[in-house]
Amino acid sequence: MTTTPTAGRTTAVAARATELSKIYGQGETRVVALDRVSVDFRQAEFTAIMGPSGSGKSTLMHCVAGLDTFSSGSVRIGDTELGSLKDKQLTKLRRDKIGFIFQAFNLLPTLTALENITLPMDIAGRKPDKAWLDQVIAMIGLSGRLSHRPAQLSGGQQQRVAVARALASKPEIIFGDEPTGNLDSRSGAEVLGFLRNSVRELGQTVVMVTHDPVAAAYADRVVFLADGRIVDEMYGPTADSVLDLMKQFDAKGRTS
C-alpha cells in the first residue's frame, strides 16, 4: 500500500489545483467546502476522488471542471488559468477541452443516440472526426442503436452514450460525477471498463468522483478527501485496499 507523495512522477499535467479554497457564507454560517487543496491530474491517468458525503469531493471536481467558481487559489486546465475567465470563456473551455459524464446520464430526450454523442461538436459548430467517432462508437458497442432515442435505451446503454459523448470531442480531460451511481453492477462495470480502456488505449485523462470502492478500483490513483482537505492518496488501488483505508478514516472519525 503506497501512500507516499508522488513528487517523483514526471508525466505532463492535464489539470492542476493549487491552494484551492471554496467558502460558502459568512460569519457564523461560514462553511469551508475546500480548504487549500493542491492536486495534479496527470495526462493519461484515471483518478478517482473519494470521501464521505460533505467531504468536498464533488465541489473539488466542479471547481476543477470550470462548473463552479472558487474563493481563492488557482485551477489550470492545460495552460489555461480558470480563475480569471469570464462565463463565456469558461463555457468555451468546457466545450472544447472538457468532457462530462453525469450520474443522471443527462441526455437530451429529443435527440437520437448519435445526435447526443455529437452534441458538443454541434454546439461548437465543428464537424466530428469521422474515424475517431467510429472508433469510439465501436468501442462503446452501440452501433446498432445509434438512431434510438434515450427513452428507448436502458440505463446502461444511456450511460454508454454519455461516455461516447464525452470521448467524441477528444477533450483534454473527462470528469465523471458518480457515473455508475444509477446503474446496476454489471452496467456499471461495463462503463468503468470503457473509461479505463480510454485511458490505457487512447491516452485519455479521466477524473471521477465516486463513493464506491469497487468503482474506485478501476482507477490508477485514488485521492481521499475529508472536511475539504486531501487526507490520503493511493496508487493501483483494489476494492479491498480502498475499503480498508475508508474503514480507517471511519474509525478515526469516530474516535476523534
Partner 1 sequence: MFRTALRNVLAHKARLLMTVLAVMLGVAFVAGTLVFTNTISDAYQKSSAKGFDQVDVAVRPKYQESRGDQVGKLSDLTRATLDKAAKVPGAASATGVVSGFTAVADKDGKLAGGDWQSNGGNYWGTKDARYPLVSGHAPHGAGEVLLDSKTAERAGYRVGDTVRLSVNGPVLTPTLAGIFTTDDGNVSAGGSLALFDTPTAQKLFGKKGTYDEIDVKAAAGTSQTALKAGLDKALPAHLAETTTGKQLADDQAKQIADSMSGLKQALLVFAGIALFVGTFIIANTFTMLVAQRTRELALLRAVGASRRQVTRSVLIEAFAVGAVAGVAGLAAGVGIGAGLRSLLGSFGASVPDGPLVISPGTVVAALAVGILITMLAAWLPGRRAAKIPPVAAMSSVHAKATTKSLVLRNTLGALFAAAGVAVVLAATSMDTDSAQGPMGIGAVLLIIGVFILTPLLSRPLIAAAAPALRAFGVSGKLARQNSVRNPRRTAATASALMIGLTLITGMTVMAGSLQTAIDKMASSAIRADYVVSMANRSPLSPDVATRLAAADGVTASSPLRNAESRIDGKTEFLTGVNGSAIGKLTDLKVDEGTFTVGGSQIVVDKDRAKENGWAPGSHVTAHFEDGRSRQLTVAGVYEGNDMINGIMLDNKVLTPHLKDPADMQVMVKTAGGASEATKTRLTKVLGTNPAIKIQDKQDISNSIAQIFTTMLNMLYGLLGMAVIVAVLGVINTLAMSVFERAQEIGMLRAIGLDRKAVKRMVRLESLVISLFGGVLGIGLGVFFGWAAGELLGTKMPTYELVLPWGRMAVFLLLAGTVGVLAALWPARRAARLNMLAAIKAE
From the list 21, 35, 44, 95, which residue makes contact with partner 1 (rule: CB under 8 A)? 95
Measured distance CA(120)–CA(214) in Å, rounded? 30
CB within 8 Å of 72: residues ≥ 6 apart: 19, 20, 21
Q: Which stretch binds partner 1 (CB under 8 A): 5-13, 72-80, 122-130, 229-237?
A: 122-130
Q: CB of residue 234 vs partner 1: minimum separation in angstroms?
A: 27
With CB under 8 A as the contact rule, which of the stretches 28-36, 116-124, 133-141, 190-198 interacts with partner 1?
116-124
Q: Which of 106, 135, 197, 241 binds partner 1 (CB under 8 A)?
A: 106
Q: How far is CA 154 from CA 79, 191, 209, 256, in A?
A: 39, 13, 23, 45
Question: Nearer to partner 1 by C-beta: 207 or 245?
Answer: 207
**Which of 30, 88, 130, 186: binder of partner 1 (CB under 8 A)?**
88
Calpha distance 181→96 (Å, rounded):
26
Binding flag, residue 103, partner 1 (CB under 8 A): yes
Out of 35, 68, 172, 233, the residue judged to bind partner 1 by CB under 8 A: 68
User: What is the rounded CA–CA span in Å between residue 154 and residue 192?
Assistant: 17
User: Binding-site residue total for partner 1 (CB under 8 A)?
Assistant: 32
Considering the rule CB under 8 A, would residue 124 count as an interface residue with partner 1?
A: yes
Q: Which stretch binds partner 1 (CB under 8 A): 25-33, 36-44, 70-78, 85-93?
A: 85-93
Q: Which three cell numbers stand for residue 175?
A: 470528469
Burial (CB count within 10 angstroms: exposed 0-12, middle 13-18, buried 19+), residue 8: exposed
* Pair 237, 243: CB distance under 8 Å: no
Q: How far apart are CA 88 and CA 137, in angstroms?
A: 30
Catalog residues that contact partner 1 under the rule CB under 8 A: 62, 67-68, 87-88, 91-92, 94-96, 99-100, 102-104, 106, 108-111, 119-120, 122-125, 151, 165, 177-178, 181-182
